[in-house]
Structure 1
Amino acid sequence: MKKRVVIFGDSNTWGYDAVTGGRFNEEIRWPMVAAKILGNEYRILEEGLCGRTTCLEDPFNEGLSGLTYILPCLQTHSPLDMLVVMLGTNDCKQRFSLTAANIALGMRRLVKKAMEAEVWRDNPNILVIAPGPILKECELSEVGKNMGVCSDKSYEIAKEYELIAKELGVGFFDSSKCVEMNDIDFMHLTADSHIALAKEVSVIIKNTLENKELKA
């Protein structure tokens, strides 16, 4: 059986294109580009949803809490070899009134639930990705009417996620090292950033699962 990897995220995993207001095609979306890079030995399972949070119920839109969906999602795709999670951007919305440390606690709850799920082919392999920060210009853009004051805390998420990842013994990657936000809404990845992120994450997936096989 192919190595099965779920990539779980929000609109920047779903592939929102700020230029068209639609969705990037499979040649651009980073989970699908990663699938192409990794090749036929891997089955990449794309689970992105616009507006998704780590664990928060949105008062205006139902079904966006990652915590309530993660278990059936993983069960649907089991048996699994790895889970990649990139969430936190929507947790920055002003209406949730969270700090970056609060957002990291939401990620901690999500990861712990995934670790304890009976969906793993062997032991859990989880990679937490800190999303690229929301640029300050977002707050003055059209989408800023929904996001509110959100930028400053987004720059603090990576260091908080890294602490949580170390505590739980899971992988961590700071996507700000390779991605840029577009100059329209200032919170969604550019097409080039999707490609760059795919290259980085595919290496981590491959190294994680192949090193696991060598140790077996």
Structure 2
Amino acid sequence: MHQILVYADSLSWGIIPDTRERFDFNQRWPGVMELELSESDKPVRVIEDCLNGRRTVWDDPFKPGRNGLIGLEQRIEINSPLSLVVVFLGTNDFQSMHHRNAWESAQGVGAIITAIRRARIEPVMPIPEILIVAPPKIQKAKGAIAPKFEGAELKAVGLNEAIRRVADDENCHFFDAGTVTKTSRIDGVHLDKDQHRVLGKAIAEFVRSILPEC
């Protein structure tokens, strides 16, 4: 059985847009992916390490522990052996308190890749493949999160291509979530239930081609 670690933020944690509630496991995309793969000839166990507000490499001034680099190497060690690590980050780099652009966020993804590969694992265990997922394009935020993401849709322009270049440079697999879904119709940032399902099925199909190589 393959073990897949999903290292991500609220888009993967499955927050229900404009609430503080969470979709069920079989409704959020990592769960959809697990079910899709396990029903085929690729039985997997998906380990969700998804934290609301997680950035790539920056701290949240209001909530501790949101810097994605902190503790990442230990998470790889804890959950080994891993066939694949899926990194789905970037959206929170554009919260209103950060003045970042797409290039800077993509460099943060690059630092995440370096940390994964630097992690200490037992010598008999495989070095996991890495799949980088670029978030769908942020829309103008609506509802309760609007102040937190004010201007994010402008700062994040070009993020998918910037992340793609980093993934290529680092010899990682890449998937652009924006090719199969937009962000939530409700808040403009997260994913609605039907979008989770579409994304989970699409990533499962992509991952199916990666796992035999692991």
For the residues of structure 1 that align with 2:114 and 2:132, how far apart are their CA atoms? Answer: 12
Q: Which residue of 2 aligns with 1:109?
A: 111
Inter-partner Cα distance in structure 2 for 1:84 and 1:60: 27
Aligned-partner Cα distance in 2 for 1:206–1:115: 22
2:147: which partner in 1?
145
Q: Which runs of 5+ in 1 are unaligned?
A: none
1:130 aligns with 2:129: no
Relative to total residues, which structure has the larger helix share, 1 or 2?
Answer: 1
Percent identity over paired residues: 28
Structure showing greater relative contact order (alpha-carbon pairs closer than 8 Å, 6 or more residues apart): 2
Q: Residue type of the partner of 1:133?
A: K
Shift of 1:34: 0.6
The residue aligned with 1:170 is 172
**Gaps (5+ residues) in structure 2?**
none
CA shift, 1:19, in A, is 5.2
* Kept after mapping to 2: 8 A contact 1:92/1:153: yes
Q: Secondary structure at the match of 2:132?
A: strand
Distance 1:74 1:91, change over 3 A: same
Question: Which residue pairs with 2:190 in the alignment?
Answer: 188
Partner of 1:11: 10
1:105-154 Cα shifts (integer Å, max 9, x gaps):
11100111102223383233000000011102x1x643121222111232
Report how far residue 21 of structure 1 moved: 3.1
Cα distance in 1, alignment partners of residues 187 and 206 from structure 2: 29
Q: CA deviation at 1:75?
A: 1.5
Contact 2:73 2:118 survives alignment (8 Å): no
Q: Is the 8 A contact 2:143 2:187 kept in 1?
A: yes
Once the two structures are TM-superposed, the CA of residue 13 in structure 1 deviates from its matched residue by 0.6
Question: Normalised by the size of structure 1, how large is the TM-score?
Answer: 0.91
Any idea what SS the aligned residue of 1:198 has? helix
Q: Which residue pairs with 2:63 in the alignment?
A: 61
RMSD across aligned C-alpha pairs, in angstroms? Answer: 1.6
What is the deviation of 1:196? 0.9
